[in-house]
């Protein structure tokens, strides 16, 4: 125990280029939102009735734009501030943010919303419509109004049954109530046109009525965003303007990148970690362009989007992904049969003392991972007879992802 304590103390005292690296995490909410004033003004205008005439209507807004364009951040900050304004006017308005890649159906969404609000509703053995009705009654009892933001809503549209889609988008067509306490923000990746193919025309009209669009960031905008984070995350002088400019030009939509602020921040964070390692070995005290080049060459961009998605996986989904990567690493193949993945998964569960899921659930997990863009699947391969499910992986280095998975498995098993 003394050795462990000494290890912890030495790690805490170790010199670092960072002051606070959590400022670079995807979930960090900065004090100032850059270049999204137009979208915030639109949200204020659309949700004004919630403040002026609460309960008179149910406001529904669709936020659409590419990954890393500020949709989630804008929604969260707007929700926080409008709730404060409402409180100052004596209106009990709450904002709840639910990610639909984690809560995949109506029951899951209501369950997460009620837990966030501290509402006690038995949700075992009841239908989704019964749960929704009970949820609305408790909001009425507590005189509470709600802005419910559904992030990655396209995932819900891909997986939920038609009745769930109808109940969420057209809630007060289903629940005939005079006071409409639930307002919605639907957040989707990519073009809003992608939504049309997932719903009927009437539901689509509901979604498209109030559209707030987000464009990818330009290089100059990313420069300002990164500079804000550098000032808060790193010691003064550790990250020069040339590094910020390099990442911004590499990432900016107008300079050949995809305009993804989240990815640009992830590259900066990873470059900082490399500089930290060099600092410990006495080689440098600064983050350099060469650190950025190493990150891009070794891990990005493939691993950035991947690691962002891992946050929403359950323990056994992570175990299945670990089994896929282990099987690919052990065999040296680009694709492995599902039977090999299943055998590796069962062995991994045995090592950890976890009860393995059955074949059907395992297949469901694999399809879920495929839908998220984390793994690849094929039903036939050249030189292999018969049709079966073969599983592969993208360009991200296996070892780096396996290390991340091992850490997440340990954390989830402790929880």
Beta bridge partners of 149: 97, 185
Domain boundaries for CATH 1.10.10.10 within the chain: 313-414
Kindly tell me if the per-residue pLDDT of 382 is higher than 70: no
Kindly tell me if the per-residue pLDDT of 11 is higher than 60: no
Is pLDDT of 397 > 80?
no
Mean pLDDT score of the chain? 88
Q: What is the mean pLDDT of residues 14-41?
A: 93
- CA atoms of 98 and 108, how far apart (whole Å): 9
Fold held by 37-213: Rossmann fold (3.40.50)
Report the distance separating Cα 14 and Cα 323, nearest Å.
35
Q: Name the strands in the sheet holding 335-337, side by side, starting at the edge strand that comes first in the sequence.
A: 335-337, 390-393, 375-378
- Tell me if the pTM is above 0.95: no
251-277 pLDDT per residue, tens: 999 988 889 999 999 999 999 999 999
Tens digits of residue pLDDT in 60-111: 999 999 999 999 999 999 999 999 999 999 999 999 999 998 888 899 999 9
Above 80 in pLDDT, residue 400? no
List where CATH 3.40.50.300 sits in the chain. 37-213
Q: What is the pLDDT of residue 69?
A: 97
- Residue found by looking up tokens 């976890």 in the block: 354
Q: What is the pLDDT of residue 7?
A: 57
Q: Domain 313-414: give its CATH code.
A: 1.10.10.10
Q: Model confidence over 274-283: pLDDT tens digits?
A: 999 998 888 8
Question: Any idea of the CA torsion for 153, 156, 158, 162, to the nearest 10 degrees?
Answer: -120
Residue 115's Cα: distance from chain center in Å?
19
What CATH number should be reported for the domain whose range is 217-300? 1.10.8.60
Of 84-88, 144-148, 394-398, the poorest mean pLDDT is in 394-398
Residue 325 contacts residue 344 (beta carbons within 8 Å): no
pLDDT tens digits, 294-327: 887 665 555 556 666 677 788 999 999 999 999 9
Q: For the segment 221-244, what is each residue's pLDDT rounded down to a tens digit?
A: 999 999 999 999 999 999 999 999
Alpha carbons 102 and 312: distance in angstroms, whole number: 6
């Amino acid at each position: 125990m003394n050795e462990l304590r000494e290890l912890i103390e030495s790690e805490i005292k170790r010199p670092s280029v960072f002051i606070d690296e959590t400022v670079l995490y995807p979930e960090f909410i900065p004090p100032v939102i850059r270049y999204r004033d137009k979208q915030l003004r639109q949200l204020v205008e659309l949700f004004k009735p919630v403040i002026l005439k609460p309960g008179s209507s149910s406001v529904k807004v669709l936020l659409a734009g590419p990954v890393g364009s500020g949709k989630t951040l804008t929604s969260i900050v707007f929700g926080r501030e409008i709730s404060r304004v409402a409180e100052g006017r004596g209106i009990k308005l709450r904002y709840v943010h639910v990610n639909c890649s984690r809560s995949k159906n109506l029951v899951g969404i209501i369950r997460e919303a009620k837990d966030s609000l501290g509402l006690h509703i038995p949700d075992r053995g009841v239908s989704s419509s019964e749960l929704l009705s009970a949820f609305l009654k408790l909001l009425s009892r507590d005189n509470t109004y709600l802005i419910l933001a559904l992030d990655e809503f396209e995932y819900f549209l891909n997986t939920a049954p038609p009745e769930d889609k109808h109940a969420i988008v057209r809630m007060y067509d289903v629940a005939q109530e005079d006071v409409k306490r639930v307002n919605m923000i639907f957040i989707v990746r990519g073009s809003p046109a992608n939504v049309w193919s997932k719903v009927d025309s009437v539901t689509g009209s509901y979604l498209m009525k109030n559209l707030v669009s987000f464009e990818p960031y330009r290089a100059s905008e990313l420069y300002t965003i990164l500079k804000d984070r550098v000032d808060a995350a790193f010691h003064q002088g550790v990250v020069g303007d040339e590094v910020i400019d390099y990442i911004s030009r590499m990432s900016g939509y107008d300079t050949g990148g995809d305009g993804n602020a989240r990815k640009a921040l992830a590259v900066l964070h990873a470059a900082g970690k490399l500089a930290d390692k060099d600092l410990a070995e006495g080689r440098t005290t600064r983050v350099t362009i060469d650190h950025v080049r190493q990150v891009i060459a070794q891990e990005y961009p493939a691993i950035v989007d991947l690691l962002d998605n891992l946050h929403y996986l359950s323990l056994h989904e992570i175990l299945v992904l670990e089994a896929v990567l282990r099987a690919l690493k052990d065999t040296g193949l680009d694709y492995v049969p599902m039977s090999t993945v299943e055998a590796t998964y069962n062995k991994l569960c045995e090592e950890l003392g976890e009860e393995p899921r059955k074949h059907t659930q395992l297949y469901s997990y694999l399809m879920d991972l495929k839908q998220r863009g984390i793994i690849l699947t094929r039903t036939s391969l050249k030189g292999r007879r018969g049709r079966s499910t073969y599983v592969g992986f993208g360009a991200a280095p296996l070892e780096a992802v396996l290390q991340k998975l091992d850490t997440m498995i340990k954390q989830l098993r402790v929880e």
